[in-house]
Amino acid sequence: MARNLDTYRKKRDFARTPEPKGKRGREGKRPMFVIQQHDARNMHYDLRLEVDGVLASWAVPKGPSTDPRVKRLAVQVEDHPLDYGDFEGRIGKGEYGGGAVIVWDTGPYKNLTEKDGEPVEMADALEHGHVKVALEGKKLAGAFALTRTRDGKKPQWILVKMNDEGADRRRNPVSTQPESVLSGRTVADVAAGEA
């Protein structure tokens, strides 16, 4: 999948949605990840990884797990602009992706992908369907693996926590830490219009 924002922009009417159109660059900074909780038609968590100036994106219906035994479906969606990474707000009913969005976790990440002991660049890792990243978030820490299991228009991947110091079989941050790491709000607060 090429890294560009054409599909993102085509799906949205920027006169109507509060979402960013996308222009900001972040040269010289460490790549960032964000996980946004999105209370759309179906509640889901959008995992986004900064790759070559955009946010490669997956919709994860159940959200990430810190338990290495748990595999989570992650459906790859269109690349999003970098300035989507701190977007919180209400997308209007009837608009594409209508519903409340919060930044559930964010921070820098490190690409750990290797092949035959050699580092693999993120764009190549995505192309090859296997990505390993170490997240440095407020809720999530340590390595996660993404593996593509089905290609096509909406490629399916599996998201799984690697067994390291960030792994925890008993934690369930999706349910116990529902608040935004930026504003402290929940999706219900945002839906209700609370600042």
C-alpha span between 172 and 186 (Å, rounded): 16
Contact 71, 161 (CB under 8 A): no
Q: Minimal CA–CA distance to 159: which of 35, 1, 31?
A: 35
Closer to Mn ion at the Cβ: 47 or 145? 47
Q: Minimal CA–CA distance to 180: which of 169, 165, 191, 164?
A: 191
Radius of gyration of the chain (CA): 16
Closer to Mn ion at the Cβ: 19 or 46? 46
Minimum gap (Å) between residue 40 Cβ and Mn ion = 6
Q: Is 38 in the site for Mn ion (CB under 5 A)?
A: yes
Number of residues lying near Mn ion (CB under 5 A): 2
Paired tokens of 82? 């970098």
Q: Is 105 in the site for Mn ion (CB under 5 A)?
A: no
Per CB under 5 A, contacts with Mn ion among 59-88 are none
Contact 165, 156 (CB under 8 A): no
Q: Is 46 in the site for Mn ion (CB under 5 A)?
A: yes
* H or E, element range at 36: strand 32-39
Closer to Mn ion at the Cβ: 38 or 185? 38
Question: Which residue has its beta carbon closest to Mn ion?
Answer: 38
Q: Is 90 in the site for Mn ion (CB under 5 A)?
A: no
Minimum gap (Å) between residue 120 Cβ and Mn ion = 27
Minimum gap (Å) between residue 20 Cβ and Mn ion = 14
Query: Residues in the site for Mn ion, rule: CB under 5 A?
Result: 38, 46
